Amino acid sequence: MVMYAKIRRMFYREHLSINEIQRRTSLSRNTIKKWLKAPSDSAVKYQRAKKLGKLTPFESRLLLALEADARRPRKDRRTAKMLFQEIRKGGYVGGYTIVCDFIRNWRNQGSQSKTAYVPLKFALGEAF
């Protein structure tokens, strides 16, 4: 952990007091003392459980709608607001911005260009 090493460096190398370290890092004095008493080779590691987002259960529905709209003429496609209202009817409780970000990411992934191979070896007298 980066912060663990930073606190130890401030205390042992820079000779800062615990109160000064507290002011600079906004950590409690108890946490700083605990980290300083711990053996130097073992850093504190926290495992945070993965949380599902509010949009996760509705992503498959959005993907199907976006793929269907991609085949439609441009004027017949649904807007992000329309898609948001559709999933809202289905029980979505999250915000509009999350839906817009998801749609923007999906559209940007589709527009990424494929890598092309251009031969750079030509016969004499031929140009590209």
Does residue 50 belong to any structural domain of this protein? no
Number of domains the chain is built from: 2
Does residue 92 belong to any structural domain of this protein? yes
Q: Would you report the helix, strand and coil content of the chain in percent, each value rounded to 5?
A: 55, 0, 45
Confidence of residue 94 (pLDDT cuts 50, 70, 90): very high
pTM here is 0.53
Query: What is the domain extent for residue 83?
Result: 56-110
Q: How far apart are CA 108 and CA 7, in angstroms?
A: 41
Does residue 104 belong to any structural domain of this protein? yes
- Report residue 121 as tokens: 């070896």
Does residue 123 belong to any structural domain of this protein? no
Q: Comparing 123 with 58, which gets the higher pLDDT?
A: 58
How much of the chain, in percent, has pLDDT values that exceed 90? 59
Beta carbons of 44 and 35 less than 8 angstroms apart:
yes
